[in-house]
Structures are given as structure tokens and as C-alpha cells.
Amino acid sequence: MANHRIILTINGETEQVEVPSQMTLLQMLREKLAFTGTKNGCMAGECGACTVLMDGEPVNSCMVLAVECHGSTIITVEGLAKDGVLHPVQQTIIEHGGVQCGFCTPGMLISARALLDRNADPSEEDIREALVGNLCRCTGYIRIIDSVRDAAERQQVLSL
């Protein structure tokens, strides 16, 4: 069972990694590259704690093989802020009190950012639908939904 050498971009940096076939993107991020911001909640594509952007779209990184990411562009929670300035979804989730234990937060932020990337003016229903694959046991979601709506409004202001 040979290893594969892959080259990919993670948070704007080019990485070269040797990975066995069965290693998931999540494992590669956490265990080969120490991007521990992305979390493992279930290894089954159910909880969304492992959500990252792959070529601009959110995926459960536990459901993607590392070898399938050769040539891909990955963004993790560590890549959301730019030069220390938080992305609006990060800023608003803090302000709305949508962070408690913080374990679901990285995946949640990626899903939220991806939603705003594809829909700059999401309705509440759009937000709920976009986040349905990100389980949270602490907050009850209401503040998170509010924070994403708020982030959408701020982004629209920023883009004016």
C-alpha cells in the first residue's frame, strides 16, 4: 500500500505531503500538518465539526481522502481571518454570544462563510438550511443564526 505525494494549497500556503491512501483530509490537517483548528466530532460526515472549504465549497473533511486533495485549495478556520482582522462571521458570532465550548465553532464558521460567499443576502431559512449539517450541543443555534444574518449585513456594508 504505497503512499501518495500530494501538493495542495492550505490557507494560501503551498504544502507538499506524503499520505497513505486511507488518510482523510481531516487526519492530514490535524496529524500531519498540525492544523488543529478543524475538529473531529464523529468521523462519519454527520456532525460538521470537521468542515473546511475545498476549492471554495464546504466539505466534511472526514469524508474526503487526503489523496483526493492533490491540486486543491483548502481553507480552514485558521485561514478565515486576514492579517489579524476577523472575518465578519467570526466577529459577529462572538458579539452575539454564539460561542460556548467552541468545539463546533470552526466548522460552523466555515459553513457560514461559505453561505455568504454564495448568497450575500440569506434569509433565516437559508441560514438554517446551510447550517443543518453543523451540530451544536451548547448554544441552541439561535444566536448563531442571528450572527450569520448580522455578518451578511456587515459584509454588504463593507462591499459598498
Which is nearer to another protein, 83 or 160 (by Cβ)? 83
Distances from the Cα of 120 to the Cαs of 37, 107, 109, 123, in angstroms? 26, 19, 15, 10
Q: Minimum CB separation from another protein for residue 159, in Å?
A: 22
Q: Minimum CB separation from another protein for residue 155, in Å?
A: 16
What is the three-class DSSP state of 100? Answer: coil
115, 105, 129, 85: CA torsion to nearest 10: -20
DSSP 20: E
Which is nearer to another protein, 5 or 160 (by Cβ)? 5
Spatial separation of the C-alpha atoms in residues 27 and 44, rounded to whole Å: 13
Which is nearer to another protein, 113 or 160 (by Cβ)? 113
Q: Minimum CB separation from another protein for residue 77, in Å?
A: 4
Q: Minimum CB separation from another protein for residue 7, in Å?
A: 15
CB atoms within 10 A of CB 69: 27
Which is nearer to another protein, 118 or 156 (by Cβ)? 118
